Amino acid sequence: MVSKSARRLASGLITAVSVAYAVIALLYFLHGPAFGTTAGLAILAVISTHYLNMRAGLRGERPPGFPLTLVLQAVATYLPDFLLPGGMSAVAAPMLAGTLLVFLPLGWGGALVGLMMLYEGAALWMSVDLSVVTLFYVVTVPTTGAMIYALVRFVRVTADLEQARAELADAAVLKERLRISRDLHDGLGRSLTAIALKGDLASRLVERDPAAARTEVHELVQVAREAAQDVRQVARGYRAMSLTGEVDRAVALLESSGIGVQAHLADVAVPIRSEEALAWAVREAVTNVLRHSRATTCTITTSVNGGRLRLEVANDGALESSSPAGGGLTGLAERAAQAGGSCTATPTGAGGFLLAMEVEA
């Protein structure tokens, strides 16, 4: 994973910097056995606490026992100044600066780094009195601290981006599954209902009117082929639909089922997303009329008002109380929202049912 590679790279760079400062400290204080041992123990304490803090920081966590580990690193950084000559903290303070910037708010961390710079400048000036050396060690405190902070932030941002990419991929998969489920429900519902109706009609006509029965069977086969085509289109993710075409199919299907239909469509061009949402609404409404109502008449109308196109599909036979709400109306509400509109389905006072959808015109 990219985040693991970034973490290994950052960890390697931080370790290299820490080892470099440790070597400088040991070389400087090895001229005396007592000082060398003290310096070795001090730098070991600094490196150990710095390692614990940075290991947690690179994972986006706080080390166990925090803020004790931060306090221990500060003590290991400045206590040797009272035991060793020459300002031991000058080579350990840059690592502490990185820890402060990583784990504290930048305002507080920056202020403490500034105080550390003042302290190192005063301590080195009084002990070695070399302005160039003093300036060098003072400057390394904020620069090394900023470098450590930048490396840790780089790792964390990389990990966050990787997680966000994974979440987007999961969301895309879920969205595609919902699309397939919704399209299959809305698309096949009408086709299967039509197949069932025409098959039932053909079985009743086969004895008394074979020619009409053959016509119904022929239309049943055609509807089945359309259903197969719908499934292929769903699998390809292509569901271009025409409102006019869907209304024409709805009128033919309702009339063949003995339901009187009136369709009045406003002559207006609408965006593709809005037209597809309206076409799906017509399909779902007609499917519900055929499945769940005892309607004898149905009207399909569209009208434009204030830059919005309103579709109404009304019938005179309210949905049966035993019929489930299903996911069709939920899917229509989602499609309407995607087209900048809304969808409602309510019984009417005359014992009928009205499905209405408004979208951007």
Residue 31 has pLDDT above 60, yes or no: no
Structure confidence at residue 300 (pLDDT): 94
State the Cα–Cα distance between residues 259 and 261, nearest whole angstrom: 6
Full-prediction pTM beyond 0.95? no
Higher pLDDT, 179 or 63: 63
pLDDT number for residue 320: 55
Q: Order across the sheet with 260-264: list the strands.
A: 260-264, 297-305, 308-315, 353-360, 342-347
* Count of positions (residues) in the chain: 361
Q: Is the pLDDT of residue 297 over 80?
A: yes
Instruction: Give the model confidence (pLDDT) of 162-172 as tens digits.
Output: 788 778 767 76
Percent of the chain with pLDDT over 90: 7
Domains of the chain: 2-167 (no CATH), 242-361 (3.30.565.10)
pLDDT band at 33 (very low <50, low <70, confident <90, very high): low
The pLDDT of residue 242 is 84
pLDDT tens, residue by residue, 67-102: 888 888 888 888 887 777 666 777 788 888 888 888
pLDDT for residue 313: 93
298-326 CB burial, b ≥16 within 10 A, e <16: bbbebeeeeebbbbbbbbbbbbeeeeeee
Mean pLDDT of 343-361: 86
Report the distance separating Cα 22 and Cα 99, nearest Å.
16
For residue 185, is pLDDT > 90?
A: no
pLDDT digits (tens, 9 = 90+) for 244-275: 888 988 888 888 778 889 999 988 888 888 88
Range with the poorest average pLDDT among 4-8, 111-115, 180-184, 318-322:
318-322
* More confident site: 106 or 302: 302
Query: Does 312 score more than 80 pLDDT?
Result: yes
- Identify the weakest region by mean pLDDT among 46-60, 187-201, 316-330: 316-330
| Segment 225-252 mean pLDDT | 74
pLDDT band at 324 (very low <50, low <70, confident <90, very high): very low
Q: Provide the mean pLDDT of the chain.
A: 79
Average pLDDT over residues 30-44: 70
Place of tokens 């017509």: 282
**Residue with the larger pLDDT of the pair 130 and 96:** 96
Pairwise CA distance, residues 21 & 42, whole Å: 12
Contact in structure between 16 and 147 (CB atoms under 8 Å)? no
Tell me the torsion sign for CA atoms 122, 128, 131, 134.
negative
Confidence of residue 179 (pLDDT cuts 50, 70, 90): low
